[in-house]
Amino acid sequence: MNSSTPSAGVYANGNDNKKFKGDRPPSSPSRVLHLRKIPSDVTEAEVISLGLPFGKVTNLLMLKGKSQAFLEMASEEAAITMVNYYTPVTPHLRSQPIFIQYSNHRELKTDNLPNQARAQAALQAVSAVQSGSLALPGALTNEGTVLPGQSPVLRIIIENLFYPVTLEVLHQIFSKFGTVLKIITFTKNNQFQALLQYADPLNAQYAKMALDGQNIYNACCTLRIDFSKLTSLNVKYNNDKSRDFTRLDLPTGDGHPSLEPPMAAAFGAPGIISSPYAGAAGFAPAIGFPQATGLSVPAVPGALGPLTLASSAVTGRMAIPGASGIPGNSVLLVTNLNPDLITPHGLFILFGVYGDVHRVKIMFNKKENALVQMADANQAQLAMNHLSGQRLYGKVLRATLSKHQTVQLPREGQEDQGLTKDFSNSPLHRFKKPGSKNFQNIFPPSATLHLSNIPPSVTMDDLKNLFTEAGCTVKAFKFFQKDRKMALIQLGSVEEAIQALIELHNHDLGENHHLRVSFSKSTI
């Protein structure tokens, strides 16, 4: 497509604009997505928000007169994840359903098109927040900048509280923008308020930008968000008022009932709380809190639209808790695996990045499917959000909540070919210690890996060779200046990094040192 004739490029493809009545063969995947039925008053930022949970949005073209837009994602994988996510759950903008499909274009060239200034400003604002650079154009935020030393804690006030908003609902909404470590809810000046701590101030900045002023439910429960002066929260009890997601060992305190009965009844209010998701209850750690059954964040017209979807992180690997899945379940169904290369140990190491894996079962009759049992529902949710849609051994992995509550071990003498393994006593669990700092270092899969526990005798070349022999392309490497026991290594792709982590985490480097490998949020 020649950028000097942009109009020919984007509009000439009649296919993108005509014959939508189901007679058009589905396009092959492309990182450019074609969006239809977009309301005329929608802003660029709102359209970009549809793509953000799945990865970086690299370009946008709004065709306002035609109620259409083209959104370009950084990678085809991100676009595939997004289309797969929105196929069963139609996203809404301004109460209108939006239809998304692959475009016939492989990239968007918009340099010479008129009226692109606003789209470019919106994209810059978002990428500035994602990359953490300081200046934010005013296109999306009145904040102006991510201040150095800014707090990862947000203070949230909810106005027009016509329906109860629970800690679980807040966790579900805010998890879309990063790992939520702690939440405390309270009532002050007759207003329902919350303090919410992210692992990183950037996530807080991003959530504030996207959510401030939004309604959780139709025309009510408006979020007012500011940065807190606190830089860390101290949670003493895990109950319906406060939660520390990094410490499942905390007592429940005075045994607060989860919801007063009249409040619980309000959740039956038709039209307000009705939704295809397994519900926010699926996001609480399974510590046995009593829960309002069926509590779920709605796909209500005029509500947060895509914001209320269960998901995680700006890079978010969004995933719907399987319709058959059980809220609060800690067992994941993992599908579309490569049956020739996957092992229970490989799944244990990979899913172990996001929680402690207790058991893994690869299906005897269908080896591309497996069940992975995590320590609790919160870890299952994290693993699902971060790993569903990633490529592993040439196939795009899918993870949803399983309808099974536990993974059964084979009975004595039952033929199993070693496909079911119990890892509950493994020394390799990353999150065994309550409050472990590993909880603050949970990042989505990335091409850059963080290496630690390196003995003094091991050189850069030793480590580069180790990864090269594992079939990786090493693009960059650096030791931490302050601490030579740690390093960053950048590989050829995210898929390579995932496979290298599976193969080399806990690799024996000699001198009683086993290499620790995790995904890094930094690049070299």
Task: State the pairing for strand pair 395-396/32-36.
Answer: unpaired
Rounded to whole angstroms, how far apart are CA atoms 328 and 336?
24
Q: Single out the residue of 88, 90, 70 nearest to residue 27, CA to CA.
A: 70
Rounded to whole angstroms, how far apart are CA atoms 407 and 421?
9
Q: Is it true that 32-124 and 443-519 share their CATH fold? A: yes
Contact 218, 303 (CB under 8 A): yes
In the chain, % of residues over pLDDT 90: 37
pLDDT digits (tens, 9 = 90+) for 357-408: 999 999 988 999 999 999 988 888 889 888 988 999 999 999 998 988 899 9
Q: How would you label 467-482 residue by residue, b for 16+ Cβ within 10 Å and e otherwise?
A: beeeebebeebebeee
pLDDT given for residue 115 in this prediction: 67
pLDDT given for residue 274 in this prediction: 27
pLDDT given for residue 497 in this prediction: 96
Q: For the residues 268-278, what does the mean pLDDT come to?
A: 27
**In the predicted structure, residue 467 carries a pLDDT above the cut 50:** yes
Domain boundary assignment for the chain? 32-124, 153-244, 331-409+416-437, 443-519
**Region of poorest pLDDT, from 89-98, 370-379, 474-483:** 89-98
Could you tell me the two tokens for 184? 């405390």
**In the predicted structure, residue 458 carries a pLDDT above the cut 80:** yes
pLDDT digits (tens, 9 = 90+) for 296-332: 333 322 333 333 333 222 222 223 333 234 446 899 9
pLDDT given for residue 486 in this prediction: 95
pLDDT given for residue 32 in this prediction: 96
**Region of poorest pLDDT, from 85-99, 174-188, 397-411:** 85-99
Q: For the residues 165-180, what does the mean pLDDT come to?
A: 85
Contact 223, 194 (CB under 8 A): no
Contact 364, 429 (CB under 8 A): no
Q: How far is CA 189 from the centre of its chain?
A: 34
Q: For the residues 418-434, what does the mean pLDDT come to?
A: 90
Of residues 380 and 258, more confidence is placed in 380
Q: For the residues 133-141, what does the mean pLDDT come to?
A: 33
Of residues 193 and 55, more confidence is placed in 193
Question: The domain 443-519: what is its CATH number?
Answer: 3.30.70.330
Of the pLDDT bands very low, low, confident and very high (cuts 50, 70, 90), residue 219 is low
Q: For the residues 108-133, what does the mean pLDDT come to?
A: 68
pLDDT given for residue 149 in this prediction: 60
Give 59's Cβ-side CA count (13 Å radius): 17
**In the predicted structure, residue 295 carries a pLDDT above the cut 50:** no
pLDDT given for residue 428 in this prediction: 93
**In the predicted structure, residue 216 carries a pLDDT above the cut 90:** no
Under DSSP, is residue 91 helix (H, G, I), strand (E, B) or coil? coil
Give 300's Cβ-side CA count (13 Å radius): 20
**Region of poorest pLDDT, from 133-147, 185-199, 389-403, 419-433:** 133-147
Please state, as a whole number, how many other Cβ atoms lie within 10 Å of the Cβ of residue 215. 18
Element (H, E) at 97: strand 96-97
Provide the mean pLDDT of the chain. Answer: 76
pTM: predicted TM-score of the whole model, two decimal places? 0.49
Cα dihedral 305, 310, 315, 317, rounded to 10, equals: -120
**In the predicted structure, residue 422 carries a pLDDT above the cut 90:** yes
Of the pLDDT bands very low, low, confident and very high (cuts 50, 70, 90), residue 144 is very low
Contact 495, 502 (CB under 8 A): no
Contact 233, 153 (CB under 8 A): yes
pLDDT given for residue 133 in this prediction: 38
The fold of 331-409+416-437 is Alpha-Beta Plaits (3.30.70)
Per DSSP, what are the bridge partners of residue 242?
Answer: 184
Q: Which residues contact 47 (CB under 8 A, 6 or more apart)?
A: 35, 38, 60, 62, 69, 71, 93
Q: DSSP readout, 262-304?
A: HHHHHTT-TTTS--SS--GGGGS-SS-----TT------TTS-
Please state, as a whole number, how many other Cβ atoms lie within 10 Å of the Cβ of residue 406. 13
What does DSSP assign to residue 514? Answer: B
Rounded to whole angstroms, how far apart are CA atoms 210 and 126?
10
Under DSSP, is residue 7 helix (H, G, I), strand (E, B) or coil? helix
Q: DSSP readout, 439-467?
A: GGG-----SEEEEE---TT--HHHHHHHH
**In the predicted structure, residue 436 carries a pLDDT above the cut 90:** no
**In the predicted structure, residue 239 carries a pLDDT above the cut 80:** yes
pLDDT given for residue 290 in this prediction: 26
Q: How would you label 273-299 residue by residue, b for 16+ Cβ within 10 Å and e otherwise?
A: bebebbbbbbbbbbbebebbeebbbbb
Contact 51, 77 (CB under 8 A): no
pLDDT digits (tens, 9 = 90+) for 480-500: 988 899 999 999 999 999 999
pLDDT given for residue 140 in this prediction: 34
Q: For the residues 420-447, what does the mean pLDDT come to?
A: 86
Could you tell me the two tokens for 143? 């904040």
Q: DSSP readout, 179-248?
A: -EEEEEEEEETTEEEEEEEESSHHHHHHHHHHHTT-EEETTEEEEEEEE-S-SS------SSSEEETT-T
The superfamily (CATH) of domain 153-244 is RRM (RNA recognition motif) domain (3.30.70.330)
pLDDT given for residue 128 in this prediction: 57
pLDDT given for residue 328 in this prediction: 66
> Yes or no: is domain 32-124 CATH 3.30.1490.20?
no
pLDDT given for residue 143 in this prediction: 34
Of residues 12 and 151, more confidence is placed in 151
pLDDT given for residue 319 in this prediction: 30
Rounded to whole angstroms, how far apart are CA atoms 371 and 228?
40
Q: Single out the residue of 148, 130, 136, 129 nearest to residue 231, CA to CA.
A: 148
pLDDT given for residue 114 in this prediction: 64
